[in-house]
C-alpha cells in the first residue's frame, strides 16, 4: 500500500545560507530554477564573483505557472489580506490543490504568504476533509 507524505513548510533561504557564507570563502550555487538569476544575491545577501546561466539540456516542459483568479464556483481567488480568509477562497484553493495533485504525476509545491496563513489554511482544509483526499 502507498504511504503518502503530505508536508507543509515555509522557508527563508537566507537564514539557512547565512552560516554557509560566514564559514566558507567560496560557495557555488547551482539550480535549474534560479530565475531571475540576479534576484538571488539580493535575497541571500551576498556579492557574486561570477554568474553564469546555461540553457536547459532537456526539452520536456516541467513547470507550468498559472494565475488563477476565480475558483470553480467563480468566486474570486486571491491571497490579498482582505480576501484570503473568506470561506470560498479557502475552499477554492483546496479544490485547486486537489485537482492539481490529481493531474500532476510528480508532486506539487504550494507556497503560502506566511506561516500563520499556512497554519490557518491547513487547519481549515483538514476540517473540510481536503487533506484526506489529497
Q: Which residues pair with 76 in a beta bridge?
A: 70
Whether pTM exceeds 0.85: no
For the stretch 62-114, pLDDT in tens is 677 778 889 989 998 888 888 888 999 999 999 999 998 898 877 788 888 88
506539487: which residue's cell? 108
The residue whose grid cell reads 557574486 is 48
Select from 54, 94, 56, 57 the least CA-distant residue to 73.
Answer: 94
Alpha-carbon gap, residue 115 to 74, rounded angstroms? 27
For the chain, the structural domain boundaries read 12-59, 64-134
Amino acid at each position: 500500500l502507498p504511504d503518502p507524505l503530505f508536508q507543509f513548510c515555509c522557508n527563508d533561504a537566507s537564514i539557512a545560507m547565512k552560516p554557509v557564507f560566514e564559514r566558507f570563502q567560496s560557495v557555488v550555487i547551482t539550480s535549474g530554477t534560479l530565475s531571475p538569476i540576479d534576484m538571488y544575491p539580493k535575497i541571500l545577501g551576498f556579492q557574486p564573483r561570477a554568474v553564469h546561466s546555461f540553457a536547459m539540456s532537456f526539452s520536456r516542459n516541467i513547470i507550468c505557472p498559472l494565475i488563477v483568479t476565480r475558483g470553480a464556483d467563480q468566486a474570486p481567488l486571491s491571497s490579498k489580506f482582505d480576501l484570503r480568509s473568506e470561506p470560498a477562497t479557502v475552499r477554492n484553493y483546496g479544490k485547486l490543490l486537489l485537482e492539481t495533485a490529481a493531474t500532476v504525476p510528480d508532486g506539487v509545491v504550494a507556497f503560502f504568504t506566511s506561516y500563520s496563513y499556512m497554519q490557518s489554511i491547513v487547519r481549515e482544509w483538514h476540517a473540510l476533509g481536503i487533506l484526506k483526499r489529497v
